[in-house]
Amino acid sequence: MKRNKTHKQVFWFTIINYVGVVIGVISTVFIYPYDKEFLGMVRYVDSMAQMLFPIMVFGGAQALIHFYPSLTKHNKNRLFKYGIVTVLGLSLVILVVLLFGKTFIDWDNYKYVFYAFPLAFSLAFVELFKRQATNIEKLEIPTLYEKIIPKVSLPIIFLLLIAEHLDKISALVAFIGSYFILLLLMVLYVLRHYRLHSGYNFKSLFNEVPKMEYYKYSFYSFLGSFGALFAFRIDAFMIPEFLSFEANGTFNIGVALATSLAIPATGMFAIYAPKISAYLKNDGIVELGKKYIETAKLLFFIGAILYTAVILGIESFFRMLPTYDNLVDSIPIIMLLGFNVLFNMSTGFNSEIISYSKYYRFNIIAILVLSVLNICLNLFFLTQTNLGIIGVAYASLIAMISFNCSKLIFIHKKFGILPFDKNYLKLIGMVSVVFLICYLLPENSSTVLNLLLKVGLNTCVIILVTYKMEWVYSLNYWVDKLIKPDK
């Protein structure tokens, strides 16, 4: 019964996310290309906010998942409340620092920091309330808010900008405002299902969880989150500094389409986070190992179908669109970062296993190495080559593969588990062969026919063979449930 509930959550989480993806993809290919400079500006501010909000949270969101299973009911409530207090206090400190820094820092783009701050503030609380929604197993509606509201608001803002009803600064303010609407709805939903007790005495909480242990875990989690966001958001920050906002817009069109492949992973990692924490605390390594393989295999299966479809059909699909000339430069970015996403999905919930184990400090080392590697690679490609944004994509690809390989090796060494089995390797081999055959099929003069033939054949064969061979449990579970609903 519990397993069926998990599958149901994963299913609805994925559906909600893909509704957001569909909206995002439509916006990316039909609306955003008309003003890539503003898109670059939005992503520049967003990248700053993504680096600020981990400081505001300071590991409180991760601590909420990590300590929650072992606490009494009252202290679970206090743990959540302590996270809220932490965000409020640190946000005030950051605001004072930013205002103070304005006097001494001579940097043309420093003004964008003050647009990033309120965005970061809302993101910090969204992250905290989303983690609490995960703990109480009420993730579907918060996910709906998080994935749909920004995806709907940004294209509306773009259309108003294109129609000259807004200037760029007003549009940027409206974009930030949409996140406060998201935050308000999420807070109201979570508090409707989880009542906060009055009072701000946290003594009993820190009697059950030693304060030093809490702060130590939060600090390492903060460093890990900050390093990861810094490492993977640094491109949107560096491109405008070395190239232009327009180049940043082109790159982010590619990023938006490539990262849409990762939606199933995002949902599964969020839903399984409390379970991973519980397995580790209860020494359920054998069961954890089984889930590790099962989820990695499922995510590779989904990711491989999506990524091979992109490789086989992206050029034909873009040629059918009126915005082709504005989109074509993003194709290499989509292919490189799409493989990046596929590799990350195929290795399962590596980060979650490490984050919720006693070895969580390893994440800090790996993240710091990753940050330095990614920044150095970005600097190299941007200053020493003529590759431009394609070089930035190569930098991300190299850094991400190195990062995931280091986590695989570490988990195997400490826990003796890997996200692979014989059926997984057979699945990889089959997908590779089917993709190669479809790729080598002769091109058709009709763009639509070429798209449907190659992508359709590739997708159908992969799904059919995987189902018949029973390599992915969830595929057979849902297909059988659809075919034989009474069983």
Please state the domain extents for the chain.
2-420, 424-487
Q: Are residues 347 and 296 in contact, defined by beta-carbon separation less than 8 angstroms?
A: yes
Q: Which two tokens stand for residue 6?
A: 């998990």
- Judge residue 108's burial from the number of C-beta atoms within 10 Å of its C-beta, 0-12 exposed, 13-18 middle, 19 or more buried: exposed
Closest C-alpha among 340, 171, 314 to residue 255: 340
Low-confidence ranges of the chain (pLDDT < 50): 1
pLDDT of residue 12: 66
Q: Are residues 308 and 436 in contact, defined by beta-carbon separation less than 8 angstroms?
A: no
- Distance, in Å, from the CA atom of 32 to the CA atom of 159, rounded to the nearest integer, reads 9
- Distance, in Å, from the CA atom of 381 to the CA atom of 238, rounded to the nearest integer, reads 11
Q: Are residues 359 and 350 in contact, defined by beta-carbon separation less than 8 angstroms?
A: no
pLDDT of residue 333: 92
Q: Are residues 474 and 7 in contact, defined by beta-carbon separation less than 8 angstroms?
A: yes
Q: Are residues 318 and 324 in contact, defined by beta-carbon separation less than 8 angstroms?
A: yes
Per-residue pLDDT of 119-138, as tens digits, reads 999 999 999 999 888 888 78
Q: Are residues 94 and 117 in contact, defined by beta-carbon separation less than 8 angstroms?
A: yes
Closest C-alpha among 105, 139, 120 to residue 51: 120
Would you give the DSSP letter of residue 197? P
Q: Please, which residues have CB within 8 angstroms of residue 465's CB and are 6 or more apart in sequence?
A: 430, 434
Q: Are residues 265 and 297 in contact, defined by beta-carbon separation less than 8 angstroms?
A: no
Q: Which two tokens stand for residue 473?
A: 């449990």
Closest C-alpha among 185, 90, 175, 51 to residue 130: 185
Q: Please, which residues have CB within 8 angstroms of residue 230's CB and are 6 or more apart in sequence?
A: 51, 371
Q: Are residues 157 and 31 in contact, defined by beta-carbon separation less than 8 angstroms?
A: no
Q: Please, which residues have CB within 8 angstroms of residue 237's CB and are 6 or more apart in sequence?
A: 44, 47, 48, 51
- Distance, in Å, from the CA atom of 231 to the CA atom of 285, rounded to the nearest integer, reads 30
> To 10 degrees, the CA torsion angle through 162, 149, 56, 49?
-20
- Distance, in Å, from the CA atom of 141 to the CA atom of 4, rounded to the nearest integer, reads 19
- Distance, in Å, from the CA atom of 80 to the CA atom of 83, rounded to the nearest integer, reads 5
Give, to the nearest 10 degrees, the angle between helix 331-346 and helix 263-281.
20
pLDDT of residue 207: 87
Closest C-alpha among 63, 405, 48 to residue 220: 63
Give, to the nearest 10 degrees, the angle between helix 140-162 and helix 168-193.
160
Q: Are residues 277 and 69 in contact, defined by beta-carbon separation less than 8 angstroms?
A: yes
pLDDT of residue 304: 92
- Residue 391's Cα: distance from chain center in Å? 22
pLDDT of residue 4: 55
Give the E-state strand segments of 285-441 in sequence order. none
Q: Are residues 78 and 202 in contact, defined by beta-carbon separation less than 8 angstroms?
A: yes
Q: What angle do CA 19, 24, 30 make, to 5 degrees?
A: 125
- Residue 116's Cα: distance from chain center in Å? 19
Per-residue exposure over 251-265, b if at least 16 CB sit within 10 Å of its own CB, e if not:
bbbbbbbbbbbbbbb
- Distance, in Å, from the CA atom of 368 to the CA atom of 356, rounded to the nearest integer, reads 19
Closest C-alpha among 460, 420, 421 to residue 437: 460
pLDDT of residue 8: 60
Task: Count CB neighbours of 99 within 10 A.
Answer: 12
- Distance, in Å, from the CA atom of 415 to the CA atom of 400, rounded to the nearest integer, reads 22
pLDDT of residue 177: 95
End-to-end Cα spacing for the chain: 14
pLDDT of residue 327: 84
Q: Which two tokens stand for residue 210?
A: 């030693």
Task: Count CB neighbours of 175 within 10 A.
Answer: 22
Closest C-alpha among 82, 10, 42 to residue 179: 42
Would you give the DSSP letter of residue 282? T
Per-residue pLDDT of 140-151, as tens digits, reads 788 888 888 988
Mark out the alpha helices in 167-284 (DSSP H runs).
Answer: 168-193, 203-208, 211-242, 245-259, 263-281
Q: What angle do CA 254, 47, 79 make, to 5 degrees?
A: 120
